[in-house]
Amino acid sequence: MSDEIRAAVIEKFNKPLNIRSFKRPKLSEGEVLVRISAAGVCGSDVHIWRGLDPRVSTPIIPGHEGVGVIDEIAGEKRDVFGRPLSAGDMVIWDRGVTCGRCEYCTIYKTPSLCPNRWTYGISKSCNEPPYLNGCYSEAIVLDSNTRIIKLEETVDPITLVPASCSGATSAHSFELRPPRIGESVLIFGPGPLGIFHIAFSREYGASEIIVIGGTKERLEMCRRFGATHI
Ligand SMILES: [Zn+2]
Ligand SMILES: [Zn+2]
């Protein structure tokens, strides 16, 4: 990767994104520079662009869903399963970075409630070091607290991108209340969250998976993913 890294930046809400060049950053201990292979457009990105997300301040590199290839690591790094990471590995990561020290992180094991949680592409302006804080960029700097998962190279990054937002959100709801085998599941809305809910419901052995709302095309897609009633 060259010393110049280009990124799409929201300078002003509701205006076209600007392409800006950033200097290749010098990494601090534990940081990982990842070349972005694919980034998703989440519904939240549209809200962000419209200026409707109070967490966001401009200028910002949006994009909280991403898959990429490690370019450089400062120090030793392992993924969430303890596997060593190195340059060239394809990875996905938790879009939310938590402190790992507060009571929610350590005692309750509910890092989504960590008061220090921040999110790539949402919480940090590109004026804030290490500047490459979002996925609509040739590269992103992952903070040392980021939970990273190494991927099989056979996975298509475009297919996997939404797993880091709607996939993770759905997984969390199934952690809170997984369906028992044979139970029926009712899903409101056939968006990406709904689709992931169908897939998880099927994995957990739900008998009836009912989806309501949305367009005919989306509902047909739901059937392909395993919905039994649309
Ligand atoms: Zn999202
Ligand atoms: Zn915490």
CA–CA dist 95, 98 (Å, integer): 10
pLDDT at 2: 81
Structure confidence by residue, pLDDT tens digits, 120-165 = 999 999 999 999 999 999 999 999 999 999 999 899 999 999 999 9
Exposure on the CB side of residue 151, measured as CA atoms within 13 A: 22
Domain range summary for the chain, segments of one domain joined by + = 4-163, 167-225
List beta partners, residue 139: 35
Nearest partner of 80 among 135, 150, 28, 31, judged by Cα = 150
Distance 116 CA to ligand 2 centre (A): 6
Task: For the beta carbon of residue 55, count every other beta carbon within 10 angstroms.
Answer: 11
pLDDT at 4: 95
Distance 5 CA to ligand 1 centre (A): 24
Distance 92 CA to ligand 2 centre (A): 21
**167-225 belongs to which CATH class?**
alpha beta
Beta-strand relationship, 209-212 and 185-188: parallel
Distance 107 CA to ligand 2 centre (A): 10
Pick the CATH number of 4-163 from 3.40.50.300, 2.60.40.10, 3.40.50.2000, 3.90.180.10: 3.90.180.10
| Averaged pLDDT score across all residues of the chain | 96
Residues of the chain falling short of pLDDT 50: none
Distance 175 CA to ligand 2 centre (A): 19
